[in-house]
Structure formats: C-alpha cells, structure tokens
Amino acid sequence: MEPASRMLRNFLHFQQLDGRQVYQLRKLLEVELAASVVGRLTEHDFQQLEANMSACACCASDEEDHRHQRFLELEFHQLLARVCPNPLLAFMCQFLNDMLRDLVVIKKAYVPERKQFDHANQDYHRQLVDAYRAEDTQRVRQVMAEHMADAEHHMSALEAEMAAQMLISNDSPNLQNHRSKLHDLATENASV
C-alpha cells in the first residue's frame, strides 16, 4: 500500500492542493470509516488505541515532541483504518493521513505550538473510544464529524498564519506565484 500511496502523493504534487481540499474529503471519509469500525474492535485494538492516547497525553511541548504528538494523532486514525472492512475506504483514509504526515515531516514551521488543538484532539479521541466501547454508531459518526470539522478549522488557521509569515519574511516579486503549502511540501518531499 505504501508504494501506491507514495506514487499518488507524488502525482498530486503537480496539482495545487491545499488543506481545505484534503479536509473536504477527510470530513466525509473519516466519518464513514469510523462508522464501519463499530463492533469490530478487539480488546487488542482497544489496548492499542488506549496506548496511543496515553503516549499523546505524555508528550512535552517542545517542537520535536509536538511533531511526535501530531504523528501519534494521525496514528490513532491509522489504527482505525486497519480495522476497516472496506479496503478502498481504508486506503483512501490512510492516503489522506499520509499526506498530512508528509506535511508535518517536511516543514518544521508547520508545527507551531497549538495546545488547544492537541487538547481538542485528545478529547475527541477519548469520546470516540467511549462510543466504540458502547458500540454507538450514531455517536461515533457525530464525534468524528465534529473532530474533522475542528481539525479543518485549526488547519485553516495554521495555513493563514503560514501565509502571513511568508508575507513578512519574503518580499520576493514572485510571491503572487506562491502555491499552496501542501503543494510545496509535496514537491520537497518528492526529492527526499
């Protein structure tokens, strides 16, 4: 799956893709995936989700740990994707998670301290696990939909901050040709 995902990500670096477009899909697909997993999680899966949440909560606030925390946050969603009975849906969600992970890997500047975001994520994950324990599909859908809408909001705020930083730090006349951050990231990543 990883080679296919990488090829598709490389292909997409020729497109002008931004965070809003990623979340436009993620808001739909993560909710569908989340619902498809209800009743399928084993005790081992629950243990992995709990371990992931504990690790997330333990992270300190320096930059390296912050990035690690973001990886863990995405890993929570990857754990759910591995249990998804629909391989196509699982692939699509994992692909979007990989794109977001690329974004965290490449640009240090993309990971300013956003404690509010971390706390919100941890809270949503806890609510999700509780809803899974109760096998409450409606609740799972509701919490995941809220989680994705909230994450999109934070992503947009982050992109706006980044754009503002570029305006301050870059007075190049080519600035109007500036492409989306995600595009730049994918481009840089393609050479890694």
Residues that bind Zn ion (CB under 5 A): 121
User: How many other C-beta atoms can be found within 10 angstroms of the C-beta atom of residue 159?
Assistant: 17
Q: Cβ 118 to Zn ion, closest distance in Å?
A: 10
Question: Toward Zn ion, which CB reaches closer, 56 or 182?
Answer: 56
Question: Toward Zn ion, which CB reaches closer, 36 or 121?
Answer: 121
Q: Cβ 39 to Zn ion, closest distance in Å?
A: 20
Q: Cβ 18 to Zn ion, closest distance in Å?
A: 20
Distance CA 5, CA 60 (A): 31
Distance CA 92, CA 90 (A): 6
What residues have CB less than 8 Å from 15, skipping those under 6 apart? 183
Question: Toward Zn ion, which CB reaches closer, 146 or 188?
Answer: 146
Of 161, 153, 159, the closest CA to residue 184 belongs to 159
Question: Toward Zn ion, which CB reaches closer, 115 or 169?
Answer: 115
| Both structure tokens of 131 | 């809803």
Give the torsion through C-alpha atoms of 136, 138, 141, 144, to 10 deg.
Answer: -60
